[in-house]
Structure 1
Amino acid sequence: MGSRTYQWLLDQKLETWPYEDKMTYVFSRQSWEDKANIKFAHPSNLTSFVKELQGEIWLVGGGQLIKDFMEADLIDEYQVTIAPVILGEGIPLFPQGKYAADLELLGTTRYGQFVELAYKRKTKAK
């Protein structure tokens, strides 16, 4: 997850960490102290970090984290949730960057008023 998402979760003063059953990696340009199931990494090391994990990674966060992973060609599947709210401003989910992805729809799932769109990337970037 990105550092802004991590900070937002901290600000909510939740009784329990929502990802308690998973190892959480927070990508931040700031220095944080690791915790039992929360490790911090600098986003400049994305490619080597992901290769070391040797498995599937689920990203939680906003545009900057997605941009960093897309520019490093590290995303194979996307799950985008649409909320029934239209905002006139804010941080874009896919900010301007040097990346592109040709996607194939895998499916849709409705969660009450929310819709999740699942896509996979058709081809690897060159």
Structure 2
Amino acid sequence: MTRILFDTATSLNGWIADENNSLSWLFAVEGGTTPDAEVLPTNAGVLVEGSTTYEWVLAEADALAHPEKWQEFHGDRPTFVFTTRELPVPDGADVRFVSGSVADALPGIRAAAGDTDIWVVGGGDLAGQFLDAGALDEIAVSVAPVLLTGGAPLLPRRCESDRLRLVSAKAVGQFARLVYEVDNASAV
């Protein structure tokens, strides 16, 4: 059964990027550039990103000039990017631009995923839109031993404890790995 997962890293005080949309703080943590394979979603057949995440990946990897760097992370998996703008695409990448609501885009995303999972890579507001739509099944967070003064919040939504059930909590290198199941039955 296809699940929709938000799996990301965050600072100890809840920021997924700093004020400059940079992840340099994450890469400075031991294990931050190459996450332990056990924490990456293993059955993710489709990736979903917001335009800020997508543009950051393009710039950080210089993926337009080096499309092989896109393939290192995304592989051949379809990547849906929520945006209202026309953006460039690395050669050979399966990037599908969508605009509008998550609810409207979900049928196409689910069709592309087939029997595999859907990984909402980022950002936090996009994951929040999946949560609002009652479509987010799991939130997995790798908490880094870093404190930031601001930036992009992990998940800028209020979600009460009656909707989240702790599945696991463990140390993975320098990170605290927390996995929560989301109860969508009580979604608004």
- TM-score w.r.t. structure 1 length? 0.82
Residues 22/86 of structure 1: CA separation in 2 closer, same or farther (3 Å cut): same
Match of 2:159 among 93, 100, 108: 100
For the 8 Å contact 2:136–2:184, the answer to whether it is kept is no
Q: Secondary structure at the match of 1:32?
A: coil
Q: Distance in 2 between matches of 1:38 and 1:109?
A: 34
Q: Distance in 2 between matches of 1:3 and 1:11?
A: 12
Equivalent AA in structure 1 for residue 94 of structure 2: N
Query: How large is the Cα RMSD of the aligned pairs?
Result: 2.2
Q: Percent of aligned positions with the same letter in both sequences?
A: 33
Q: Distance in 1 between matches of 2:134 and 2:183?
A: 13
Residues 11/88 of structure 1: CA separation in 2 closer, same or farther (3 Å cut): same
Which structure shows the bigger proportion of residues in strand conformation? 2
Alignment: residue pair count? 123
Residue 67 of structure 1, CA deviation:
2.0
Q: How does 1:43-54 map to 2 (within 5 A)?
A: 44-52=100-108, 53-54=110-111
For each residue in 1:82-107, what CA deviation from the matched residue of structure 2 results, as whole angstroms up to 9, or x when unmatched? 11111111121122x4x535211111
Q: Give 1:57's aligned residue.
A: 118
Q: Distance in 1 between matches of 2:153 and 2:147?
A: 12
Q: Structure 1 unaligned segments of length 5 or more: list them.
A: none
- TM-score w.r.t. structure 2 length? 0.57
Q: Distance in 1 between matches of 2:88 and 2:151?
A: 29
Residue 33 of structure 1, CA deviation:
5.6
Larger relative contact order, structure 1 or 2 (CA cutoff 8 Å, min sep 6): 2
